[in-house]
Structure 1
């Protein structure tokens, strides 16, 4: 048994219970300490991680303990390259998200921080579970804290409407996934991931399972047309809720597509099902970008920007899957999607935090009512610009490598699809530079500008930390590509067998 992984999994759960009981202002420091301990433990595990294991699905830091012989399910956890990537993203961002709230005074603060740690526990479980039933249980665990965070601390006059829509969409999607996993289980030896891969399903059965499981992932990403819950939820949730949803939670679906859906149901990928998903992903890329161009609400603009970017990730994954099932192992699209998933998590958290900083200065999210902040907040102007450049995939920023690989991979699948998907690079420059220009330049209201200052210590710490990752991963992306390579080769080789 790996006690390191067990500690990584259980520390945020124990921490959340402790924070729930810690009913004073010190709860935020306790929550941050636990999140930082998780982050440092993850880096310690990374230091001993074998980046190039044999391509046979071997897990590192493995835990495998039978917990139900009746339903043939094990407490099976482990880490491979793809899991390590998402653990890093989860635990880096969780610490920064908690720190970002230190200038706030949320009501019931111990409950607020306890829910963030509980969600961190659920996310780690999703990314480390190697049993289908266990994966589903942790998938559902993540829904509860984010629903409460959005519902309790969201915008007062919108919270019932958007939290109800969010809960219905995600809960129904999860039930579809459960039905799909149970059906696969009835045709396999157990809920173990390798047994699910080897389930005895014919083409029509795989197609039914494909759509049942895909629906849950399509809602969580989200993919057009299952996205109508997303703009409102991202916009009216508290800033930390928006960060959790966009920075980490949607990556569960990227992970699920690769770890569960495609290896279990490879046959439909080559048929009409795969083509439909590719078309929906490309539509989402353009749809999200076009709507972002005309947005004046800063958070809603970032929400639609995220919709466009996840559409591109999905298209890259499907391009890899389709080309692989045709008979040639092709992991580049999936590699690009994972590099971009990590970059997107960093960038979108930075953008939502920038929206929060702007709201505190101007008391509005309407970018038409902003202006001139660069004159009085030069530190913020520089850091915001770096994060923005990462989001539009400027070379030597974290967004460039993943987006370049994605577009190239989609070209290998279809030139027309790549040309359409590639418009996201143009549109993202349009709406993000428009956002930046409106907020940072222009005349501005002198009565407002004279009373606001540059970044506080907390704001600078969060923004500067994110900028470090934007630059570091833009200059040195190869470690991530090497980290996920063997995982993807195993997954896509499984699809060919």
Structure 2
């Protein structure tokens, strides 16, 4: 079994979800996503057994394009994140009244297919196709199933589409230039190019334009809060839990190995880009009165810290960035699920109109509290492992980097606990609030189990990604070499 099987299953899930009709679409999507997760696990087991799980087929001779899919530890870690979160996101929608469900779940599965392809592709042209394909389903998910006035929703989604598509064109131009140098789009060929420092700077900046918008980093973040708020919760989960990781992953996979001289030259500047997101996201989250927007800016702060860790160009920074990508994916999906439950029950997004939920829903309160503590990196949680490793890497670059990066924990603890107090405690809300359903409880339970398991025992992920991190470090610090 190789990684292409997982993509085939996700694509088949998209087709079957549409063909099964509105009544069975959610169940079909859940079943096929679980099967895709199982296939990912089998691929991972083969990888751990030192068996080849990647594939490469010639697609076109002129231009030279290969359908090449990576089976290394970094790609498989992101594949597991995608296929693990996909069934949880689908399960979280059970019990909701979704119009035209067959199209909705088909788009979710197709988006999972495109994102998984982005993480696996080793040919730059194929990678770019998957990168752009992932944009199409989320555009329609947010536009057709989002909340608020259609004009406001359309404005937010179109802005998001234009921003991300425009940034991607810079990346495409960079790949086109690299092809003229290497005669190939293959990562193994591009990473060993002996480019001048000037060439690397332009390539680095072109990639940065695409990745900074997708993540997003300051000041390319202006689309984020509006889209997170207007999109249906499943769409917000896809964006925050998986899609933004495409940009962070791509920094490690494409930007740093291909343009290491530029990365070293701009290292301090781009660490500050990430830390600016930490400061800005945290300060704006402190002032938020809208629950979904608060979580959106909280996410902005956390991904800023991840990007800062990646740009430290040291082993701990890169490893911590990957660990935090995965932990943030689970934590933010759990938080947005909690927000969706509250908004659905109370029919309001305003924190000031909430309160008193604890007395009516003790199970939900406990689960939500655990997700809040995970998001602020409480020791024994998965988020603590990633954030501590990133802060450790920043400390060895400059003490002030670690101090500023640590504000994401300090300020995060303040605004998240304050939010929990205002939303869950206090006087009982006049509106009835039922406790979690079986699907909501199961989703929370799985996320919490993952959070504590890898918070106490992150070794399997560290062992999985270690060879890939070593290879990236070698390319950054040793220059172009035959791979």
Q: CA deviation at 1:48?
A: 2.9
> CA shift at 1:368, angstroms?
1.2
Distance in 2 between residues matched to 1:156 and 1:291, nearest whole Å: 22
- C-alpha displacement of 1:421: 1.2
What is the SS of the residue equivalent to 2:444?
Answer: helix
Counterparts of 2:371 and 2:42 in 1: how far apart (Å)? 27
For residue 320 of structure 2, the aligned residue among 320, 325, 336 is 336
1:484 to partner: Cα distance: 0.6
Find the partner of 1:179 among 155, 173, 178. 173
Aligned to 2:133: 141
**Aligned residue for 2:281?**
288
Structure 1: distance between partners of 2:393 and 2:435: 42
- Residue 69 of structure 2 aligns to a residue whose secondary structure is strand
Distance 2:358 2:318 in 1: 39
Give the secondary-structure state (helix, strand or coil) at the position aligned to 1:74: strand
1:132 aligns with 2:130: no
Q: Which runs of 4+ in 1 moved over 3 A?
A: none
- 1:369 Cα deviation from its structure 2 partner: 1.0
The SS at the match of 1:187 is helix
Q: Secondary structure at the match of 2:55?
A: strand
Does the Cα contact within 8 Å between 2:285 and 2:295 map onto a contact in 1? yes
Question: Are the aligned partners of 2:6 and 2:39 in contact in 1 as well (CA < 8 Å)?
Answer: yes
Alignment of 1:443-458 (within 5 A): 443-445=427-429, 447-448=430-431, 451-458=432-439
Relative to structure 2, which stretch is displaced further, 358-367 or 260-269? Answer: 358-367
1:431 is aligned, of 415, 418, 430, to 415
Q: Aligned pair count?
A: 476
**Residue 472 (1) aligns with residue 456 (2):** no
**Deviation of residue 15 (structure 1)?**
1.9
Which residue, 217, 225, 228 being the options, matches 2:211?
Answer: 217
Contact 2:47 2:53 (C-alpha < 8 Å) held by counterparts: no
Structure-2 residue corresponding to 1:166: 160
Partners of 2:39 and 2:452 in 1: how far apart? 23
Superposed CA deviations along residues 229-267 of structure 1, whole A, max 9, x for unmatched, are 001011110000000000000111111000000000011
**In the aligned structure 2, how far is the partner of 1:357 from the partner of 1:176?**
39
The alpha carbon displacement at 1:437 in A equals 0.5
Which moved further from structure 2: 111-120 or 275-284?
275-284
Aligned counterparts of 1:276 and 1:238: Cα–Cα separation in 2? 35
Q: Distance in 2 between matches of 1:187 and 1:6?
A: 29
Matched, 1:87 2:79: yes
- Aligned-partner SS, 1:394: coil
1:119 aligns with 2:111: yes
1:299 aligns with 2:292: yes
CA–CA distance in structure 2, aligned partners of residues 374 and 478 of structure 1: 36
Q: What residue in structure 2 maps to residue 56 of structure 1?
A: none
Tell me the equivalent position of 1:325.
none
2:190 and 2:250 map into 1 onto residues whose CA distance is: 13
Alpha-carbon shift at residue 200 of structure 1 (Å) = 3.5
Partners of 2:257 and 2:475 within 8 A in 1: yes
Residues in 2 aligned to 1:484 and 1:205: alpha-carbon distance in whole angstroms: 29
Contact 1:185 1:199 survives alignment (8 Å): no
What is residue 415 of structure 1 aligned with on the other side? 399
| Structure 1: 5+ residue stretches without partners | 54-58, 322-329
**1:459 paired residue among 440, 445, 464:** 440
Contact persistence 2:224–2:296 (CA under 8 A): yes
The 2-side partners of 1:458 and 1:277 are apart by 41
Match of 1:489 in 2: 470
Say which SS state the counterpart of residue 201 (structure 1) adopts: coil
Mean CA deviation greater in 162-171 or 8-17: 8-17
Q: Distance in 2 between matches of 1:116 and 1:281?
A: 29
Distance 2:309 2:148 in 1: 39
Structure 2's unaligned 5+ residue stretches are none
CA contact (8 A) 1:181 1:213 kept: no
1:355 to 339, 344, 350: 339
> Is 1:340–1:403's contact at 8 Å kept on the other side of the alignment?
yes
Per-residue CA deviations over 1:316-338 (Å, capped at 9, x if unaligned) read 1111x2xxxxxxxx311110011
The answer as to 2:196 corresponding to 1:202 is yes
Alpha-carbon distance in structure 2 between the residues aligned to 1:405 and 1:23: 46
Is 1:149–1:241's contact at 8 Å kept on the other side of the alignment? yes
SS at match of 2:355: coil
Aligned residue in 1 for 2:309: 316
Q: Partners in 1 of 2:145 and 2:42 — Cα distance?
A: 34
TM-score by length of 2: 0.97
SS state at 1:67 partner? strand
Asked whether the equivalents of residues 22 and 100 of structure 2 are also in contact (C-alpha less than 8 Å), the reply is no
Shift of 1:494: 1.2
Paired with 2:176 and 2:218, the residues of 1 have a C-alpha distance of: 26
